[in-house]
Amino acid sequence: MRVGRLWWGLIGLLFASASSEARAGEDPLVPELPATRRSGFTLGLSSGLAVASASGYPNDVTQIDLPEFESSTGVGASLGGAFWLGGSLADWLTVALGYQRGSFKANGLEATGGSIHARIEAYPLFFRGGAWQDAGLSLFVGTGNYDVKRAQLTVAEGEGTSAVGLGAFFEHWRFWRLATGPDVMYVHQFSRSLSAHSLIIGWRLAYYAGP
């Protein structure tokens, strides 16, 4: 429930911030600072090595929380990634809608999951200048699905899972309107019947329409 409220709150922030930017440009008493690093439409993607684990039960109320029906993958490694599109409302703030997905095999099980989400990326030390202008933090909240299978049998399943992601990145290298650099992200997907964790260490590439 709390994740759902945060999801809608982030979407509200997207529209409220866009409206505020528009008013700033129209009001002569509110100066509009020119963008120096990023503005306008943005499109990004990230990918990297994911270390993950998942555990849960079949999506059946008669089997949830009963130890004999619990399945756990232990820790596994594979590739994970995300992409997003949105807009940079200021040099230090980007909001977007995105999708993330990952899968891995461990302990004779195969786990697969993904989510759609609202995403905020902020550059809290932007006004210190220099390399700080490219050091950012990311947060996303959303919803998705996750399942764990043994061969073709689904042994754990999360329908309509909540998803929360926290990350940090440094997109210091730039070419034209592209910015790239290392990225680390932690993702937690959970529901009553399943819990999954992923730590993704990789690289990101982002396109910014301006300046």
Task: Write down the pLDDT at residue 5.
Answer: 54
E strand or H helix at 108: none
Cα–Cα dist 82/61, whole Å:
32
Cα–Cα dist 98/158, whole Å:
20
Question: Is residue 80 within 8 Å of residue 52, measured between CB atoms?
Answer: yes
Q: What is the DSSP letter of 35?
A: P
Task: Write down the pLDDT at residue 22.
Answer: 42
pTM of the model: 0.81
Mean pLDDT by 10 residues, the chain (211 residues): 51 47 47 79 95 93 91 92 94 96 92 95 94 95 94 90 96 94 96 94 95 84
Task: Write down the pLDDT at residue 159.
Answer: 85
Structure token digits, residue 129: 């200048």
Q: What's the alpha-carbon Rg for the chain, to the nearest Å?
A: 19
Task: Write down the pLDDT at residue 15.
Answer: 45
> Which domains are assigned to the chain?
2-28+36-210 (2.40.160.20)
Backbone angles phi, psi at 35, to 5 degrees: -70, 145
Task: Write down the pLDDT at residue 9.
Answer: 53
Question: Is residue 97 within 8 Å of residue 76, measured between CB atoms?
Answer: no
Task: Write down the pLDDT at residue 59.
Answer: 87
